[in-house]
Amino acid sequence: MKSLVLLCLSLCVCVQSYHFLVGDISSSLVHHKLVQYNAIPFMKRVKNYFYSSADNKIITGIQALDSLNSKATVNITAGGVGYPYVNMRMKSERGSGLSYDIGIYVNQNYLRIN
């Protein structure tokens, strides 16, 4: 019961946040990218971002910081923590642009073996 309450509270906090953090970001940063899209009046901007590890290292953390402090959203559509790839979908609020500072973290000791 306590875990259900904590889960509901954490979901409420994540929904009101402008930044997106998932997993362990204390590992080593392997990829850093600034994703930007200009605003178009009366339209929402949607940007898909893809990352794949060349050496099959498992992602342990993903960080997407909203540089504009807007009400844009980020969703993981495929992969993510525990996979060697991630697909992210960013969507701005109507009439605003996108500016996300994305960091992908991996633990150097883990390799995915297929």
Q: What secondary structure, in 3-state letters, does 22-57 show? A: EECCCCEEEEEEEEEECCCCCCCCEEEEEEECCCCE
- Which pLDDT score, from 0 to 100, does residue 10 have? 44
pLDDT digits (tens, 9 = 90+) for 9-57: 444 444 454 688 888 778 788 889 998 889 889 999 899 999 998 888 8
Domain boundaries, given as residue ranges, for the chain:
18-111
Rounded distance, CA 6 to CA 11, Å? 9
User: Confidence band (pLDDT; 50, 70, 90) for 112?
Assistant: low
Can you give the pTM of this predicted structure? 0.73
Rounded distance, CA 64 to CA 10, Å? 17
Q: What angle do CA 27, 99, 35 make, to 5 degrees?
A: 65
Hunting for tokens 């009400």 — which residue is that?
71
